[in-house]
Amino acid sequence: MDETQSQDFAAQRARMVAEVDAMYAETRSETGLAAMSAPVRKALSKVERHRLIPATQLGAAYRNHPLPIGGGQTISQPYIVALSTDLMNLQGGETVLDIGTGSGYQAAVLAEIASRVFSIEIIPSLGEEARKRLEALGYGNIEIKIGDGYKGWPEKAPFDAIVVTAAAPKVPQALLDQLKPGGRLVIPVGGGWETQYLKLITKRADGGFDEKRVLPVRFVPLVPGK
């Protein structure tokens, strides 16, 4: 890529961040967040989304909407990636779980803030492609496995935070079990014709959970393993 192209992508990325900022302002009454946190804005401003998507989508790399990445899957809208990351309330140094690697974009944003990111993808071709692209971008703190997101990753648990990038009909118990006390789970919930809602679930010190419905969303379904 030549310098002009690189500068053009940087300018597009800056415009995308401004659009995400505007959406935060529009949805503040629902989310309780008036603006991106400084760490999330810095991550969104840095991650090269154009290097994590198919070449056929390059022209739309920094548009604030989802994009197809193959296998019936999508790369999430940047606003939703930012919001989900902010809802996790990462301070730096955390170990987090990302369910539904897809393109690797959410994992990359998380890796700019958290210490370790474990990411699960059920479609082997997507997981392997994301692994190669993230390695090429220098993300040494992301580990990807091919597997069933509903089961989480018990060998790496407990997690400070978990984010799910596909909709489940209900919250998987395995993910709740793998959260640390005080940990946060951000997940879209809703199956079939139901309205999906992005939910924030916080694990209390006594092992119970507090649940907040954040806003209506539209995600591809979280595919269970066979």
Taking the mean position of all CA atoms in its chain, how far away is CA 41? 14
Contact between 215 and 31 under an 8 Å Cβ cutoff? The reply is yes
Residue type for position 1: M
Helix and strand numbers (H, E) in the chain are 7, 9
3-class secondary structure for 76-119?
CCHHHHHHHHHHHCCCCCCEEEEECCCCCHHHHHHHCCCCEEEE
Active-site annotation holder among 6, 76, 103, 119: 76
Catalytic annotation on 76?
Answer: yes
What is the Cα–Cα distance from 39 to 41, expressed in whole angstroms?
6
Look at the block and give the residue holding tokens 């990411």.
119
Q: What is the DSSP letter of 60?
A: G
What is the Cα–Cα distance from 179 to 164, expressed in whole angstroms?
13
Q: What are the structure tokens assigned to 120, written together? A: 């699960």
Listed in sequence order, the residues at least 6 apart from 21 whose beta carbon sits closer than 8 Å to its beta carbon are 35, 36, 41
Catalytically active residues are 76
